[in-house]
């Protein structure tokens, strides 16, 4: 049943309190899934490159630099796409940019599939990055804006469900088509979910929070009605701050950008995309080539359904911070197993090497999905005030993509010069640093309403890990 309440006038804060206290119906779930479908394209494009590399590299005679650009180039365009999308989504709204992202991906996916040269393949796939980057600057923030506080983590982590689903589908598509070597179909299949996403996103309601900040009261009421909240009274809307200058002048926003930016950077530089982009290549060093190498990576990623279920159940119970420590701790354990496997490879114990590497990759992806990747995107969407959310999320998504570019660009060169063992030693050190930073400085955002985030991030860095009691909790405790 829709929620109804009546007063002569309602302030923005009073309406938001009602939205925060609401319950979830099918509209919330459907809207979250449609929004997060961009994550499926993100995951598919990320993983499909690893299965196409063995075919396009010899076909187009790609050298080390060209392979690095093919794999990592889209990350730079993704960073640019995120930065461009940030101010646009604050100015023109969440919905129109979500639709534009889907359209761009559809076009560039088709062009990538029909590329006639290595140069065009690099160009079209790089341009896909622009659409993916723009989508990551919008999706979880939009979901967070319409989600009740109690369910925000579970709805926003739908993005990670779609990312891992894209990974999984890409690896299995790559495996099935690897016998024929049809890399064009591997790329082209990505256009199918892009078309579905594009059509469905036309039916999304605009963010009520964003509409209210634009003074579009009647449109906001219509949007809220779709989510089951009926408001008949006049709503007094606030005047939002504008511009990047206001964003950086706000202390709580700066601190949120720093802390969440650190999380997202370590989310990438600790090596997940080395496994996803280069997993079959790593198995190739052990003598597993073609379909067998792709199959091993596909099996590891297919366990993501279990991992997503765990994070879905725990993110609003245990909180973001605890899952992060568990996730990064699991990465440390996994990388240790990886190093043991590489040592067996050097000792010519191939069977043991493959076994350890397979277990290491599987556990790495498990812990990443449970406590690192999905949690990072949830934090990106929920930690910034609504008036700054588009631009701030664009900056954070750009940080994520730049970190991704750096690590996957240097991997081929590092591996050629120093070997794979030393590279994973670096990843081990970075994972340990991530645990220390999160344990020492990161706040818990579970249960904190979006409008209370500035208070949470206004505290000193040394106080961030302490429990935060926001105004609603103080009032509740005082009334007992």
Sequence-separated (6 or more) residues with CB below 8 Å from residue 436: none
Tens-place pLDDT, residues 100-148? 999 999 999 999 999 999 999 999 999 999 999 999 889 989 999 999 9
pLDDT score at 476: 39
pLDDT score at 328: 95
pLDDT score at 276: 78
Where does residue 206 fall: left (phi above 0), alpha (psi -120 to 50 degrees), or beta otherwise?
A: beta
Question: In sequence order, what are the beta bridge partners of 11?
Answer: 236
**Residues of the chain predicted below pLDDT 50:** 1, 3, 5-7, 472-480
pLDDT score at 475: 38
Instruction: Could you please state the CATH topology (level 3) that the domain comprising 3-466 is classified under.
Output: Growth Hormone; Chain: A; (1.20.1250)
- Specify the pTM: 0.85
pLDDT score at 305: 64
pLDDT score at 324: 94
How far, in Å, are 214, 250, 269, 387, 395 from residue 244 at the CA level? Answer: 17, 10, 27, 11, 10
pLDDT score at 97: 92
pLDDT score at 474: 40
pLDDT score at 304: 64
Sign of CA dihedral 99, 103, 104, 106: positive
Tens-place pLDDT, residues 463-477? 888 888 765 444 333
Beta carbons within 10 angstroms of residue 13's beta carbon: 10
Question: In sequence order, what are the beta bridge partners of 9?
Answer: 234
pLDDT score at 479: 34
Domain boundaries, the chain: 3-466
Sign of CA dihedral 375, 381, 385, 391: positive
Place of tokens 């379909």: 291
pLDDT score at 119: 93
Read off the tokens for 467: 């429990």
Length of the chain counted residue by residue? 480
């Amino acid at each position: 049943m829709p929620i109804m309440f009546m007063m002569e006038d309602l302030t923005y804060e009073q309406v938001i309190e009602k939205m925060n206290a609401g319950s979830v119906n099918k509209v919330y779930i459907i809207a979250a899934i449609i929004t997060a479908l961009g994550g499926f394209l993100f995951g598919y494009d990320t993983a499909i490159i690893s299965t196409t590399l063995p075919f396009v590299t010899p076909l187009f005679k790609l050298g080390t630099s060209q392979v690095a650009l093919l794999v990592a180039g889209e990350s730079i365009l993704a960073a640019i796409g995120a930065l461009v999308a940030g101010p646009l989504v604050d100015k023109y709204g969440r919905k129109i940019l979500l639709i534009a992202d889907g359209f761009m991906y559809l076009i560039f996916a088709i062009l990538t599939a029909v590329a006639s040269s290595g140069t065009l393949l690099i160009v079209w796939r790089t341009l896909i990055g622009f659409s993916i980057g723009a989508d990551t600057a919008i999706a979880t923030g939009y979901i967070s804006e319409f989600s009740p506080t109690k369910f925000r983590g579970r709805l926003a982590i739908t993005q990670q469900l779609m990312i891992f689903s894209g990974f999984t589908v890409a690896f299995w598509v790559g495996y099935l088509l690897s016998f024929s070597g049809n890399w064009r179909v591997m790329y082209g299949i990505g256009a199918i979910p892009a078309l579905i996403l594009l059509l469905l996103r036309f039916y999304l309601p605009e963010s009520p929070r964003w509409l209210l900040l634009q003074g579009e009261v009647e449109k906001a009421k219509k949007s809220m009605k779709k989510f089951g909240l009926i408001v008949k009274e006049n709503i007094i809307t606030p005047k939002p701050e504008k511009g990047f200058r206001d964003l950086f002048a706000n202390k709580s926003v700066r601190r949120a950008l720093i802390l969440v930016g650190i999380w997202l950077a370590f989310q990438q530089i600790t090596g997940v995309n080395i496994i996803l982009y280069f997993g079959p290549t790593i198995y190739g060093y052990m003598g597993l080539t073609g379909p067998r190498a792709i199959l091993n990576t596909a099996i590891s990623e297919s366990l993501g359904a279990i991992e997503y279920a765990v994070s879905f159940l725990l993110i609003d119970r245990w909180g973001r911070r605890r899952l992060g420590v568990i996730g990064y701790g699991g990465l440390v354990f996994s990388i240790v197993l990886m190093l043991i496997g590489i040592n067996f490879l050097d000792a010519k114990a191939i069977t043991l090497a493959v076994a350890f590497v397979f277990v290491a990759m599987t556990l790495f992806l498990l812990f990443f999905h449970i406590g690192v990747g999905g949690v990072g995107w949830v934090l990106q969407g929920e930690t910034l005030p609504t008036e700054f959310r588009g631009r701030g999320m664009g900056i954070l998504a750009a940080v994520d993509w730049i970190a991704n570019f750096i690590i996957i660009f240097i991997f081929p060169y590092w591996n050629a010069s120093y070997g794979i063992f030393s590279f994973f030693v670096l990843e081990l050190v970075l994972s340990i640093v991530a645990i220390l930073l999160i344990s020492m400085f990161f706040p818990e955002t579970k249960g904190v309403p979006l409008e209370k985030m500035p208070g949470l991030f206004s505290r000193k860095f040394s106080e961030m890990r302490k429990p935060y009691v926001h105004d609603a909790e103080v009032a509740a405790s005082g009334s007992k």
